[in-house]
Structure 1
Amino acid sequence: MLDIGYALSRRFPDPAQLDYSRADVHTLRHDLFCGDVYLADTEADRELSTAWGWVPVLDFAWALCDIVETLDKDPMGSRASRPQYAELDFTESTDRMLFARRFGWVDIEADWMDPDEAPLTFSHTELRREVRDFLHDLVADLTDLHDSLADNPAIWSLLSRFPRTQ
């Protein structure tokens, strides 16, 4: 089972005076809500996590949603034998998370993993569901911290673009 989580950094607090309802997409994705993130395979008791403290958590969730859709571009879907690839670049470093989908399964690895370590593997359907749940739960948490975020049109668009799945 896949678990996706985050922890906001105390070293990079969000500005209290910011009007979150008017923050533009660049600010939302790159300048706010910094911390660390993880993807965990709870059955295998393995995780892929950052420990840098500066990862823009909302951008990570947003990028994961985009990546899951990119991995679903092949018209053959889960029957496609040709691998589909995507990567998530961390803007403040050279590190990346790499995603490869084949036959409905997605392997996830990162540049900072031990080369002998096997990738985390999840079904594409589970990954899509969990990534979207993570996005919606994260936005709910961030809205609890900053009430005006709920009034931001970019957040409305984001949540409508990636609705929860069953």
Structure 2
Amino acid sequence: MPGIHVVGDLLPPPSLGLAHTSFAEGQVVAETLAGLRPTPVDYTAVPRVTYSSPQTATVGLTEAQARALGHEPAVRAMPLTALAKGMVHGRGGMVKVVAEAGGGRVLGVHLVGPQVSELIAEAQLIVGWDAEPADVARHVHPHPTLSEAVGEVFLTLAGRRLHQR
């Protein structure tokens, strides 16, 4: 209806009904009411987190979704236990990246493990800004951190493998 604006749980899919998504939808409504031209929420670039043990965090497309949309995905994954920080935690987990084949843009990043909710913001920027693996591979990730796994997967996708076989 004209003049009626809703956010959050009142919206049907593709809205995710998450607090951070509702906040972004509210910003769009406020900017619309102010006469601005806001960018709509890109629901594929909204991070989704499950606060369980282990945590899961995901942003963008899965491999199956990418294929269904006509992409030819390149997929790489790395176990967190391959890193010093992962060994110290002693708990499993992984980082998985879905990108367009041939070094094309990153379509999705998926994480499982301890505190991966703290890593998803970087992944959101990578997906939201249509970065390519080579763009991310040149950035230094601190050692020893779980974020190193993010960096290493992108190094592998960019053809600059470090620790992975």
Normalised to the residue count of structure 2, the TM-score between the two structures is 0.27
- Larger Rg, first or second structure (1 or 2): 2
Higher relative contact order (CA 8 A, sep 6+): 1
Normalised to the residue count of structure 1, the TM-score between the two structures is 0.26
